[in-house]
Amino acid sequence: MRTTRNALTVVAACTALAAVAACGGSDGGSSSSASGTYTFWDPYPQFDGSSDWGKLVASCGTKAGVTVKRTAYDTTDLGNKALLAAQQGNTPDVMLVDNPVVSTLVQAGILNKMSDVKVPTSSIQPNIMGAGTAKGAAYGVPIGANTLALYYNKDVLAAAHVDPASIKDWASLTAALTKVKAAGKKGITFSAIGTEEGSFQFLPWFWGAKGDLTHLDGAGGQAALALWKDWVSQGLAPADVLTNTQTTSWQEFATGDYAFGENGTWQLGNAKKAGFPYGVISIPGKDGGAAPAPTGGEFVTVPVQKDSARYTTSARIVSCLTSDANLLSTDTTLSYIAPTSAVQGQQVAKHPELGPWKAAVASARGRTSGGLGTKYPVISQQLWTAVQGALSGGKSPQAALRTAQKAVENHRD
């Protein structure tokens, strides 16, 4: 798709994006083909021009023969600024966006297919690529992926006589939590907050029971929500999971009082500083095996421009950012797992502690995959609302999910 849609479509897309990023204003971006300057937007305001990331972006521009003007926004703003910039005709040349945002930008007609700008994606793991794919076409290249697993405190488990290798399914995990509580420690902490973070953390349990996001009130979803509700009711998980973000949940785990904490690769640096020995296991499925966890991470995209001659240089910048050598350094810095098996192998060889995360990413799936696309934000909002309703004691899991499913269906109408 080579043209952006009208203002009404952009406003509608911004509304759909609200569940994963709040709508905001636009600072605009320049795409003058005569300037020799290419604009680049990313969601990393924590990295300035002197950082390794800032230097990499600049060097990729230099290698492509241009100067890159980089602007960093908060993740919650970036997608919406892109929608408004498209309306105004000044989208950036290259843009790095959170993976659930890709489908919304595709629907709005803002992004080019990677095949149209001659950027190959065949080496990317299909499950990671899924979040950037719409109707069989890739609209970006992932710079890496993160996902969720269970960190565990070796000292707490040892004191409760729990072998982490014995945890194979929900029953064995619940039994372990019960032993930990009986030994005077705390069980598991996670984030069930009423935002996308809450849905993100619930999805491994939902999918681990074979839940279907198009039928929220199915047996799998009910089983997963009942599991969380039972844990809170029995004191195996704290009541404050209702307000925990992934950060505050980590802070609870880092006190050393909890046996398990559900969190992501981005906490690896903090885990090493926690002051107690830790390990990582996959989130178990209801009846065994590793549950699919959602993929996080960003995609490098090439927005539609009035001057299509710019795409050749934009593609060079994308290819540079996603080369094997740069993926290795970037993903290690950002605590991401690389999106290609070749680079993953190099990561694990240098950092063996990434082994469990490589396995977790291998079984992960995109939140917008399977054709959900822009339907996902609506589904997610109803999912986290159902989780909040059930864990607060206001509704049964069945009733909460039935209400959620009806709300999704009414929204589609």
Other Cβ atoms within 10 Å of 245 Cβ, number: 14
Q: Which domains does the chain have, with CATH numbers?
A: 7-145+296-362 (3.40.190.10), 148-293+372-412 (3.40.190.10)
Which residues are CB-contacts of 83 (< 8 A; sequence separation ≥ 6)? Answer: 10, 13, 14, 17, 104, 105, 108, 110
Question: Rounded to two decimals, what is the model's pTM?
Answer: 0.84
Burial class (CB in 10 A: 0-12, 13-18, 19+), 62: exposed
Write out the DSSP string of 112-178: --TTTTT---TTS-HHHHGGGEETTEE--EES-BB-EEEEEEHHHHHHTT--GGG--SHHHHHHHHH
Interaxial angle between packed helices 52-63 and 324-333, expressed in degrees from 0 to 180 and rounded to the nearest 10 = 160
* Distance, C-alpha 365 to centroid of its chain: 10
The residue to which tokens 């917008």 are assigned:
368
How far, CA to CA in Å, does 167 sit from each of 177, 179, 197, 297?
Answer: 10, 13, 25, 28
Summarize pLDDT for 142-190 with one digit per residue, the tens: 999 999 999 999 999 999 999 999 999 999 999 999 999 999 999 999 9
What is the gyration radius of the CA atoms in the chain, in angstroms? 22
- pLDDT of 7 above 50: no
pLDDT given at position 412: 60
- CA 15, CA 10: separation in Å to the nearest integer? 9
pLDDT in tens, 349-371: 998 989 999 999 998 999 998 88
User: For residue 60, which of 317, 333, 314 has the smallest C-alpha distance?
Assistant: 317
Question: pLDDT digit string (tens) for 90-129?
Answer: 999 999 999 988 998 999 999 999 999 999 999 999 999 9
Specify whether the CB–CB gap between 100 and 376 falls below 8 A.
yes
